[in-house]
């Protein structure tokens, strides 16, 4: 059985709703590539309305029961943890499934890699080579990450496996840089 929980305080911040961990059918979602019309908890979704041309977020669940508070009935809508315009905040939104235009599994390693890579004269040429050969798309980023290393100034380097953005020893900030090991270089280099 799917999980069930209640969110919102019913007053100042958000309407009090019960959500369930079940998929929601989104009839206007694309089915091109890896996209699906079923928005499941954890999936990445893109939606648009007349007020918001394009919004991004992850599915938290489906509203099982809308409150009887005189406002619009949102039963069956998707609760999304939305990403702010400047990627500076996260917030919950109730999204009509008819407004969802894309729905797909999120490769978390792509986001970790994107936000962790150090931009310098060593990594930029390697990133460019990876981009040209298709290594920066989500289905190949795991292999691309093998060509980079993580380095903590205090505790040295280790192979980047996508799970560390902080040093596991001291919790300090780490740098992700290109590795210079010949066995990990491209054959054309």
pLDDT digits (tens, 9 = 90+) for 169-181: 666 666 655 554 3
Counted residue by residue, the chain has a size of 189
Question: Binning pLDDT at 50, 70 and 90, where does residue 21 land?
Answer: very high
- What per-residue confidence (pLDDT) applies to 177? 59
In contact, 148 and 117? CB cutoff 8 Å: yes
- What per-residue confidence (pLDDT) applies to 180? 45
- What per-residue confidence (pLDDT) applies to 96? 96
Question: DSSP letter string over the chain?
Answer: ---EEEE--SSSS---EEEES--EE-TT---STT--SEE-TT-EEEE--SS-S-EEEEEEEEEEE---SSS---TTPEEEEEEPTTS--EEEEEE-GGGEEEEE---HHHHHHHHHB--STTHHHHHHHHHHTTTTSTTTHHHHHTTEEEEETTTEEEE--SS-SB-TTT--B-EEEE---GGGS-TT-
Higher-pLDDT residue of 143, 80: 80
Q: How far apart are CA 178 and CA 146, in angstroms?
A: 9
In contact, 152 and 174? CB cutoff 8 Å: yes
- What per-residue confidence (pLDDT) applies to 39? 96
pLDDT at residue 144 tops 60: yes
Distance of CA 99 to the CA centre of its chain: 19
- What per-residue confidence (pLDDT) applies to 169? 61
- What per-residue confidence (pLDDT) applies to 185? 40
The residue extents of the domains of the chain are 4-104, 108-184
Encoded tokens for 26: 């989104």
**Domain 4-104 grouped into CATH 2.30.30:** yes
- What per-residue confidence (pLDDT) applies to 29? 95
Q: How far apart are CA 44 and CA 42, in angstroms?
A: 7
Cα torsion 38, 42, 44, 48: sign: positive
- What per-residue confidence (pLDDT) applies to 147? 65
- Least reliable range by pLDDT among 61-75, 87-101, 172-186: 172-186
Question: Binning pLDDT at 50, 70 and 90, where does residue 183 land?
Answer: very low
- What per-residue confidence (pLDDT) applies to 72? 86
Contacts with 109 (C-beta within 8 Å, 6 or more apart), sequence order:
141, 142, 145, 162
- What per-residue confidence (pLDDT) applies to 176? 58
- What per-residue confidence (pLDDT) applies to 34? 81
């Amino acid at each position: 059985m799917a999980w069930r929980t209640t969110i919102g305080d019913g007053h100042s911040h958000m309407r009090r709703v019960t959500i369930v961990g079940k998929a929601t059918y989104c009839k206007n979602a694309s089915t091109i590539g890896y996209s699906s019309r079923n928005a499941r908890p954890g999936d990445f979704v893109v939606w648009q309305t007349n007020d918001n041309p394009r919004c991004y977020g992850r599915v938290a669940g489906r509203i099982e029961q809308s409150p009887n508070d005189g406002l619009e009935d949102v039963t069956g809508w998707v609760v999304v943890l939305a990403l702010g315009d400047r990627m500076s905040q996260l917030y919950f939104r109730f999204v009509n499934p008819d407004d969802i235009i894309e729905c797909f599994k999120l490769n978390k390693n792509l986001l970790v890699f994107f936000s962790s890579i150090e931009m310098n004269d060593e990594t930029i040429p390697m990133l460019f080579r990876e981009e040209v050969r298709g290594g920066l798309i989500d289905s190949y980023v795991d292999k691309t990450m093998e060509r980079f290393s993580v380095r903590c100034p205090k505790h040295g380097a280790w192979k980047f496996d996508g799970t560390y953005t902080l040093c596991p020893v001291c919790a300090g900030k780490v740098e992700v840089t290109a590795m210079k090991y010949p066995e990990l270089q491209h054959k054309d280099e």
